[in-house]
Amino acid sequence: MVRQHVNPLSRFYLQPRPLPPLEQLFADPSLPLHLDIGSARGRFLLALAPLEPHRNHLGLEIRRPLVELAEADRIAAGLGNLRFLFRNANVSFDAWLRSLPEGRLALVTLQFPDPWFKKKHHKRRVLQPGLLAGLAAALAPGRELFLQSDVPAVIEPMVALVETCGCFARPAGDARPWRNGSPLPLPTERERHVLAQGLPVYRVLFRRNAAPVPAVAELEAAARAADNPGDGADPAAVPVPPTLSPTP
């Protein structure tokens, strides 16, 4: 049985594991790239890749057994525009992002990440300042970052960090605080499960603007201030979205 959660800060998951170049991953490495961080068992990408042959799709997942199962299914399906890799997205990833050809990264999705609720566990969240800075640097203006979760306490800090970064804006006309519907052509397994119970999914789509990427230290300081608003920092300097009722 595969564990639902693993500690990304344990020694095993902090080992450097450089990613292969695109030429070693895909049949046509020149296609625009969709990066799905936290691809789990991979069923979402296994269904999406045949629908979007104009893109390459790369799923990163920290639980190795799930990656092995997903890769076996990918090979059986003969999908040359899809790969799954066992990786911690916050380790050995920034250099790979910098190596991508300019404009190649078209879309980043982060869907239903593991919920680390306790403040002492916030450093285990997948969207850390360093990762966000790397993604912002790799995404050209107009390219997209899509976040969704069924847990407000999970998605709100992600949205706050992205908005603090200043490198992204929501598309004109998108509802606030949460987007009406998904921009993707099909749902994830978790998404189907949540919606079948009549529960809300909280979604935000961001597009890269032309703003320069701030220093990681600045983002880290902003994240700390958001987590500790009473420690003397100015809360007004960190735009943290309030907990609001979901958009139906």
CB 240 within 8 A of CB 226: yes
Q: Which of 94, 114, 227, 231 is catalytic?
A: 114
Residues 6 or more apart in contact with residue 46 via CB below 8 angstroms: 70, 73, 74, 77, 79, 82
- Is-cis flag, bond preceding 177, omega within 30? yes
**Count, residues in the chain:** 248
**How far apart, in whole angstroms, are the C-alpha atoms of residue 72 and residue 68?**
6
Report how far Cα 83 is from the mean position of its chain's Cα atoms. Answer: 16
| Backbone phi, psi, residue 212, to 5° | -70, 155
* Cα–Cα dist 162/139, whole Å: 13
Residue for token pair 């890269």: 208
DSSP annotation of 88 reads -
Specify whether 234 is catalytic.
Answer: no
Q: What is the C-alpha separation between 104 and 139, in angstroms, rounded?
A: 8
Q: What 3-state class would DSSP assign to 65?
A: helix
Q: For 222-231, give one letter per residue: b (16+ CB within 10 A) or e.
A: bbebbbeeee
* Angle (nearest 5°) at CA 234 between 229 and 237: 105
Query: Could you list the active site residues?
Result: 114
